[in-house]
Homo-oligomer: A and B are copies of this chain.
Amino acid sequence: MAGTAPRVCLVGVGLIAGSLGLALRARNWAGEIVGLGRHAEPLEQAVALGAIDRFALDPAEALADVDIIVLGVPLGATRSVLEALAPHRPPRAIITDVGSAKGCVVADAQAVLGNACSRFVPGHPIAGTEHSGVQAAFATLFEGRRVILTPEPSTAPDALEAVSALWQTAGAEVVTMSVAHHDQVLAITSHLPHMLAFGLVDSLARNPRHDEILRYAAGGFRDFTRIASSDPVMWRDICLGNRSALLAALAAYRDDLEQLSALIEAADGEGLEGVFRAAKQTRDSYLSWFEDRQAQEVTHDGQS
């Protein structure tokens, strides 16, 4: 790749990979962006939207002379997609993914790629919306957001560097951590909240009077449950892919909820106020930090 801009293949051009393509184009990335998928229609749409330059339905055609392969497929499809790509992958090509759990992806990569795993860089952009598909993609999705890469000791330094550069070009800040730490942190900050929102709406959905009840829900309910509009297949795969960390987070949360119920049962006003005060303090300081970060990013880019 020395001297020329890397050629990128996006495998599965949905919200994340589509936004990556748009971001690379918006930032004048010089290399070619090729889409690979099973069906022509979304790929034609991706070309029309400017997320990819051209597409192929045949892995051999899409992967010829490619430098970086980005897997934008659901977690549960990782292994079968790697199996389909492996025979056609140029030996020096780097592979990365965007999955929300990393332990399962690393296991898939080891099983399929074996020693070639040194060219595989597990990745996870902390960005997304409750919408999916390339029609929901937008170029600024990764601005001011973090991308976590979880290299193994065997990961080749040049592969890690190339994937970092790709995400930095798309406007993201790249951090690295271990696979296990990633999966624990994400279980708490993302996977657990999604379970709580899905659980709340599901329990309402099973209430025979839910239409009437929902009529009295206000903006707080709308915001709280936004993430319950996320893609069911994607979340099924995340649950299965990050099973043990998520189960631990759910068990800890159920204990907390039991303690909160006990305070209400005991009409312990002081105890309840203490819990709410601590939560508000943590949440308010998180919010200031989050908004500062976004403001800095906006200033840095000179965009609004």
Most chain B CB atoms below 10 A, which of A257, A278, A290: A257
Considering only residues 218-254 of chain A, those with a C-beta below 8 Å from chain B are 218-233, 235-237, 239-240, 243, 246-247, 250-254
Contact A257–B250 (Cβ < 8 Å): yes
- Cross-chain contact of A199 among B206, B212, B260 (Cβ < 8 A): B260
Could you say which residues of chain B place their CB within 8 Å of the CB of A239? 263-264, 272
Query: Is A194 positioned at the interface, with any CB of B under 8 Å from its CB?
Result: yes
Does A261 touch B at the CB level, under 8 Å?
A: yes
B251 A254 Cβ-Cβ under 8 A? no
Q: How far is the CB of A209 from chain B (nearest CB, A)?
A: 9
Which chain B residue has the least Cβ–Cβ distance from A281?
B205
Taken together as a complex, chains A and B put the C-alpha atoms of A199 and B259 apart, in Å, by 9
B229 touching A220, Cβ below 8 Å:
no
A301 contacts the other chain (Cβ, under 8 Å)?
A: no
Contacts of A236 in B (CB 8 A): 269, 272-273, 276
Contact call B205/A278, Cβ cutoff below 8 A:
yes
The answer to whether B283 touches A267 (Cβ under 8 A) is no
Cα(A214)–Cα(B282), bound, Å: 10
A261-275 residues at the B interface, CB under 8 angstroms: 261, 263-265, 267, 269, 272-273, 275
A148 CB within 8 Å of chain B: yes
Q: Which of A56-64, A109-117, A184-192 contacts its partner? A: A184-192
CA distance A130 to B219 in the complex (A): 10
Q: Report Cα–Cα, A247/B258, bound state, in Å.
A: 10
| Residues in B whose Cβ lies below 8 Å from that of A278 | 202, 205-206
Instruction: Tell me if B146 and A216 are in contact (CB < 8 A).
Output: yes
Is A284's CB within 8 Å of the partner chain B? yes
Select from chain B the residue with minimum beta-carbon distance to A251. Answer: B261
Nearest chain B residue, comparing its CB with the CB of A261? B250
Minimum CB–CB distance for A222 against chain B, Å: 6
Is A88 engaged at the interface, CB distance under 8 Å to the other chain? no
Please measure, in the bound complex, the distance between the C-alpha atom of A203 and the C-alpha atom of B190, giving whole angstroms: 14
Instruction: Let me know if A49 is at the binding interface, CB within 8 A.
Output: no
Instruction: Report the separation of the CA atoms of residues A212 and B214 in the bound assembly, to the nearest whole angstrom.
Output: 36
> Which of chain B's residues have a CB closer than 8 A to the CB of A258?
254
- Which A60-77 residues have C-beta < 8 A from chain B? 76
Q: Is A195 interfacial (CB 8 A cutoff)?
A: yes
CB distance from A24 to the nearest CB of B (A): 21
Contact at A213–B240, with CB atoms within 8 Å?
A: no
| A contact residues vs B (CB 8 Å cutoff) | 76, 126-130, 145-146, 148, 185-186, 188-190, 192-207, 210, 212-233, 235-237, 239-240, 243, 246-247, 250-254, 256-258, 260-261, 263-265, 267, 269, 272-273, 275-284, 286-287, 289-290
Closest 10 pairs between A and B when the two form their complex, measured CB to CB: A232-B276, A201-B279, A205-B282, A189-B217, A203-B256, A236-B273, A232-B277, A202-B279, A228-B283, A223-B223
20 A–B pairs (Cβ distance < 8 Å), ordered by A:
A126-B216, A127-B218, A148-B216, A190-B220, A193-B221, A195-B260, A197-B279, A198-B260, A199-B256, A199-B257, A199-B275, A205-B279, A214-B289, A224-B224, A228-B280, A229-B280, A231-B280, A243-B267, A250-B261, A254-B258
